[in-house]
């Protein structure tokens, strides 16, 4: 893990994901628009570190650079953050997990796994609003100051880091390392939740969408086959149900709660259209079958005619290949194949499933259809070889 | 290079003595997992990591594992995974004897793009029939970038399923310089592969 990754992990430590009841009433920002730390302050030093980080992030191959999508999401951030719009910079990062991060200097990262899971503009606005809440309440510098007071822990942690390759972090102060190693506190998360809901409702979004995201994440967690597995989202925050209930309860008293017109679902999916295929591909590569099935079924529940989702649901079953999965995969693929808009890859996948079932004739027919639709396919020669029974591969 | 490897070995030692490096001599006939014989014409270093994660993968390197790796998977059995499962983590994808080459490539891609700590952008291309170790098999190319260092790497993979078991040789190196530098030797080693 290099310095940049380390700082990245620092921000990622549960910015969005701690549980807790929300503060009652509105909170005020602890800074004015255009805020910059005083030149000689430790906060300025902290900003400098993250400014360097941001310069590296701008060059990263993991940045999603689609100009239309970036402009759209910047627009959401501006709606939510209002006068603070120019103080926040949202970066879209290709990483298949559900996460978003906020750095003290205004650098916000939203991961592609988060973009895939959001089902509406209002859901993404809820995440951006929450992260903006961390920034406006200056939680980063609070965390830094708190870390400075933990000098005893610094020694222990420093020892641990040196074993894990801590020499790479020689440029960082102990306090920064500690600050980067801890998630926001529960109180900070509550504040960010409160501000996020206020900001989103004020921007005209359905505030209940924040709770709806949690409801889905809980469903994904329950679908996980290895219940011992705890990812970034759930590692340190075990009571998602409580958080969902709290968010929903608070949203009920806000304007626009539950109003479908305030969600912006169609607009959101339209803006995501060019990138979504790569998000699906990344999701499939995780081979975390249960949550992927839960996600895709949830998405199909919102729109049963979303063929891209249906295809990927079929793909999860095809890749998992347990007893009965062949039929579930074919259920999706056959439904798609009967429509004129079916992509050629549907036929290729039907071929794989049929072949695994020993239905060589049907498999060859499906592969043939794939090659007919896509004669110049990159894999044409190998697919042709599957049509010739007797080969081992 | 030897100095670099010595430094790397020392570094590995200080990180918990988890890696061992042994020499593969030029011209030596090497049998991987008792089932796949290859013969390098140059000297390589075999990197053995005492971790379950890479249990089924034999790793060689010419200039250091950060720069290039030549890997072998030999006689992987039905329902086994390329990487061993890690406690508390999502189970690794499993090989099945009835897989097509496409499905093996998908398995390979999943095995190497599932984040261990940082995300990886992994792309495969050019899957086509090819002989490997004297039997009908397949070949494809791949590229990947790990967010940990953001170095662009290129690779090739050649493999076959024989008597229900998977045999795979794959090589990757930093796109700049190292991939191309060792590729002719790698192709010769792959060409020397024989099933035992």
Chain-chain contact of B16 with A96 (C-beta, under 8 angstroms): no
**Alpha carbon distance A123, A211 (integer Å):** 9
Chain-chain contact of B104 with A393 (C-beta, under 8 angstroms): yes
Q: Is residue A392 part of a domain?
A: no
With a threshold of 0.95, tell me whether the complex ipTM lies above it: no
B91, A225 in Cβ contact below 8 A? yes
Measured between beta carbons, the chain A residues lying within 8 angstroms of B15 are 163-165
> What is the pLDDT at residue A176?
54
Q: What is the mean pLDDT of residues A271-295?
A: 97
Q: Is B17 on the interface with A (CB under 8 A)?
A: no
> What is the pLDDT at residue A390?
56
Domain match, A146 and A291 both: no
B101-158 pLDDT, tens digit each: 999 999 999 999 876 778 999 999 999 999 999 999 999 999 999 999 999 999 999 9
Q: What is the mean pLDDT of residues A311-322?
A: 97
Q: What's A63's DSSP letter? A: B
For the cut 50, the answer to whether the pLDDT of residue B13 exceeds it is no
Domain match, A284 and A157 both: no
Q: Is B121 on the interface with A (CB under 8 A)?
A: yes
Look at A127-141, A182-196, B21-35, B42-56 and tell me which has the smallest mean pLDDT: B42-56
A213-253 pLDDT, tens digit each: 999 999 999 998 766 555 544 454 547 888 899 899 999 98
CA distance A204 to chain B (A): 35
Chain-chain contact of B91 with A285 (C-beta, under 8 angstroms): no
Domain match, A292 and A229 both: no
- Which one, of A6, A328, A288, A279, lies nearest residue A167 by Cα? A6
Please give the C-alpha separations between residue A29 and each of A21, A126, A146, A195, in angstroms, as whole numbers. Answer: 20, 17, 20, 9
Those of residues 154-193 in A touching chain B at CB distance below 8 A are: 163-165
Domain-ending residue, one of A217, A244, A262: A262
Query: Among the residues of B15-143, which ranges form H helices?
Result: 101-113
Chain-chain contact of A392 with B147 (C-beta, under 8 angstroms): no
Q: Is A5 on the interface with B (CB under 8 A)?
A: yes
Q: Is residue A287 part of a domain?
A: yes
For chain B, give the mean pLDDT. 89
A325-378 pLDDT, tens digit each: 999 999 999 999 999 888 999 999 999 999 999 999 999 999 999 999 999 999
Domain count, chain B: 1
For the cut 50, the answer to whether the pLDDT of residue A159 exceeds it is no
Chain-chain contact of B115 with A393 (C-beta, under 8 angstroms): no
**Alpha carbon distance B96, B81 (integer Å):** 9
Measured between beta carbons, the chain B residues lying within 8 angstroms of A229 are 88-90
What lies within 8 Å, CB to CB, of A91 at 6+ separation is A57, A58, A63, A107, A108, A109, A110
Q: In what helix (H) or strand (E) does residue A295 lie, and over which residues does it extend?
A: helix A289-302
Q: Which residue range forms the structural domain that includes residue B131?
A: 2-195
Domain match, A197 and A126 both: yes
CA distance B181 to chain A (A): 24
How does strand A89-93 pair with strand A107-111? parallel
Q: In what helix (H) or strand (E) does residue B146 lie, and over which residues does it extend?
A: strand B135-146
Closest by Cβ to A392, choosing from B109, B127, B161: B161
CATH number, residue A294: 1.25.40.10
- Which one, of A173, A286, A337, A61, lies nearest residue B121 by Cα? A61
CATH number, residue B177: 3.40.1000.10
Domain match, A252 and A335 both: no
Q: What is the mean pLDDT of residues A66-90?
A: 97
List the beta bridge partners of residue B195.
Answer: B36
DSSP A355-372: HHTT-HHHHHHHHHHHHH
Domain match, A238 and A364 both: no
Domain count, chain A: 2
> What is the pLDDT at residue A170?
37
Q: Is A382 on the interface with B (CB under 8 A)?
A: yes
Tokens of A336: 């798609």
Q: Is B129 on the interface with A (CB under 8 A)?
A: yes
Domain match, A99 and A248 both: yes
Domain-ending residue, one of A262, A286, A315: A262
Chains A–B, number of C-beta pairs less than 8 Å apart: 109
Domain-ending residue, one of A212, A240, A262: A262
Q: In what helix (H) or strand (E) does residue A335 lie, and over which residues does it extend?
A: helix A325-337
Q: Is residue A391 part of a domain?
A: no
Look at A5-14, A18-27, A49-58, B133-142 and tell me which has the smallest mean pLDDT: A5-14
Chain-chain contact of B119 with A96 (C-beta, under 8 angstroms): yes
Compare all CA atoms of chain A with the CA of B151 and give the residue at the minimum distance. Answer: A61
pLDDT tier at B84 (50, 70, 90 boundaries)? confident
Q: Is A55 on the interface with B (CB under 8 A)?
A: no
For chain A, give the mean pLDDT. 85
Query: Among the residues of A164-288, which ranges form H helices?
Result: 174-181, 186-202, 209-223, 240-252, 265-272, 276-285
Q: What is the mean pLDDT of residues B160-187?
A: 97
- Which one, of A248, A262, A142, lies nearest residue A193 by Cα? A248
Compare all CA atoms of chain B with the CA of A389 and give the residue at the minimum distance. Answer: B100
* Span between the terminal Cα atoms of chain B, in Å: 33
Chain-chain contact of A378 with B16 (C-beta, under 8 angstroms): no
For the cut 70, the answer to whether the pLDDT of residue A323 exceeds it is yes
> What is the pLDDT at residue A180?
54
Q: Which residue range forms the structural domain that includes residue A369?
A: 272-386
> What is the pLDDT at residue B136?
96
How does strand B58-61 pair with strand B68-76? antiparallel
pTM: 0.87
Secondary structure class of A190 (helix, strand, coil): helix
> What is the pLDDT at residue B173?
98
For the cut 80, the answer to whether the pLDDT of residue A25 exceeds it is no
A180-221 pLDDT, tens digit each: 555 788 788 888 988 999 999 999 999 999 999 999 999 999
Domain match, A122 and A16 both: yes
Closest by Cβ to A226, choosing from B91, B115, B150: B91
Residue-level length of chain A = 393
Secondary structure class of B110 (helix, strand, coil): helix
Those of residues 30-69 in B touching chain A at CB distance below 8 A are: none
Those of residues 111-150 in A touching chain B at CB distance below 8 A are: none
> What is the pLDDT at residue A12?
35
> What is the pLDDT at residue A116?
98
Dihedral sign for Cα B157, B158, B161, B165, please: negative
Q: Is residue A267 part of a domain?
A: no
Closest by Cβ to A381, choosing from B118, B119, B128: B128
Burial A265-297 (b: 16+ CB within 10 A, else e): beebbebbeebbebbbbbbbbbbbbbbbbbbbe
Chain-chain contact of A382 with B128 (C-beta, under 8 angstroms): yes
What lies within 8 Å, CB to CB, of A223 at 6+ separation is A290, A291, A293, A294
SS3 content of chain A, % helix, strand, coil (to 5): 65, 5, 35
Domain match, A176 and A38 both: yes
Burial A29-51 (b: 16+ CB within 10 A, else e): bebeeeeebeeeebbeebbebbe
For the cut 80, the answer to whether the pLDDT of residue B78 exceeds it is yes
> What is the pLDDT at residue A144?
82
Over pLDDT 70: what percentage of chain A?
A: 80
Q: What is the mean pLDDT of residues B29-35?
A: 95
CA torsion, points A69, A74, A80, A83, in degrees to nearest 10? -160
Domain match, A152 and A258 both: yes
> What is the pLDDT at residue A314?
98
Look at A11-20, A55-64, A276-285, B173-182 and tell me which has the smallest mean pLDDT: A11-20
For the cut 80, the answer to whether the pLDDT of residue B30 exceeds it is yes
Domain match, A9 and A34 both: yes
CB-hemisphere CA count at 13 Å for A84? 26
- Tokens 């074993």: give the residue: A163
pLDDT tier at A3 (50, 70, 90 boundaries)? very low
Chain-chain contact of B127 with A319 (C-beta, under 8 angstroms): no
For the cut 60, the answer to whether the pLDDT of residue A19 exceeds it is no
> What is the pLDDT at residue A155?
53
Higher pLDDT, A157 or A266: A266
Q: Is residue A393 part of a domain?
A: no
């Amino acid at each position: 893990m290099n310095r940049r990754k380390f700082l990245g992990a620092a921000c990622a430590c549960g910015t969005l994901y701690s549980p807790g009841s929300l503060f009652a009433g509105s909170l005020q920002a602890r800074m004015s628009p255009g805020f910059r730390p005083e030149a000689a302050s430790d906060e300025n030093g902290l900003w400098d570190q993250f400014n360097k980080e941001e310069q590296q992030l701008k060059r990263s191959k993991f940045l999603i650079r689609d100009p239309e999508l970036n402009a759209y999401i910047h627009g959401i951030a501006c709606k939510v953050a209002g006068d603070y719009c120019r103080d926040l910079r949202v970066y879209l990062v290709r990483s298949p997990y559900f996460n978003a991060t906020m750095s003290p200097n205004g650098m916000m990262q939203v991961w592609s796994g988060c973009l895939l899971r959001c089902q509406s503009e209002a859901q993404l606005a809820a995440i951006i609003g929450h992260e903006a809440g961390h920034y406006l309440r200056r939680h980063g510098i609070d965390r830094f100051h708190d870390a400075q007071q933990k000098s005893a822990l610094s020694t222990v942690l420093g020892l641990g880091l040196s074993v894990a390759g801590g020499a790479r972090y020689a440029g960082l102060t102990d306090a920064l390392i500690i600050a980067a190693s801890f998630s926001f506190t529960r109180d900070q998360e509550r504040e960010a939740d409160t501000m996020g809901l206020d900001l989103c409702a004020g921007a005209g979004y359905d505030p209940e969408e924040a709770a709806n995201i949690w409801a889905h994440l809980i469903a994904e967690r329950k679908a996980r086959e290895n219940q011992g597995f705890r990812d970034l989202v759930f590692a340190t925050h075990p009571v998602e149900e409580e958080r969902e209930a709290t968010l929903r309860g608070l949203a009920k008293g806000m304007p626009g709660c539950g109003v479908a017109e305030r969600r912006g679902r169609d607009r959101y999916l339209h803006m995501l259209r060019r990138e979504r295929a790569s998000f699906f591909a990344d999701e499939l590569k995780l081979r975390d079958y249960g949550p992927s099935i839960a996600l895709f079924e949830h998405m199909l529940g919102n729109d049963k005619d979303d063929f891209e989702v249906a295809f990927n649901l079929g793909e999860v079953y095809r890749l998992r290949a347990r007893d009965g999965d062949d039929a579930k995969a074919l259920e999706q693929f056959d439904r798609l194949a009967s429509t004129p808009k079916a992509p050629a890859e549907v036929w290729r996948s039907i071929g794989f499933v049929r072949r695994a079932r020993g239905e060589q004739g049907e498999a060859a027919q499906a592969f043939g259809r794939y090659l007919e639709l896509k004669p110049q396919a990159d894999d044409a020669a190998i697919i042709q070889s599957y049509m010739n029974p007797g080969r081992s591969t | 290079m030897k100095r670099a490897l010595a430094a790397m070995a020392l570094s590995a030692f200080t990180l918990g003595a988890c890696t061992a490096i042994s020499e593969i001599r030029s011209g030596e006939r090497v049998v991987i997992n008792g089932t796949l014989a290859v013969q390098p014409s140059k000297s390589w270093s075999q990197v053995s990591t005492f971790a379950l994660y890479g249990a089924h993968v034999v790793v060689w390197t010419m200039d250091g594992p950060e720069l290039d790796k030549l890997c072998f998977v030999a006689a992987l059995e039905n329902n086994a995974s390329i990487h061993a499962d890690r406690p508390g983590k999502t189970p690794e994808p499993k090989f099945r004897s009835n897989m097509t080459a496409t499905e093996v490539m998908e398995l390979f891609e999943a095995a190497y793009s599932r984040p261990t700590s940082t995300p990886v952008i992994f792309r495969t291309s050019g899957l086509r029939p090819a002989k490997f170790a004297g039997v009908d098999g397949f070949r494809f190319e791949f590229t990947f970038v790990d967010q940990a260092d953001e170095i662009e790497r290129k690779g090739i993979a050649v493999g076959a399923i024989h008597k229900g078991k998977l045999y795979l040789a794959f090589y990757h190196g930093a796109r700049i310089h190292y991939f191309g530098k060792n590729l002719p030797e790698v192709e010769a080693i792959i060409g020397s592969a024989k099933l035992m």
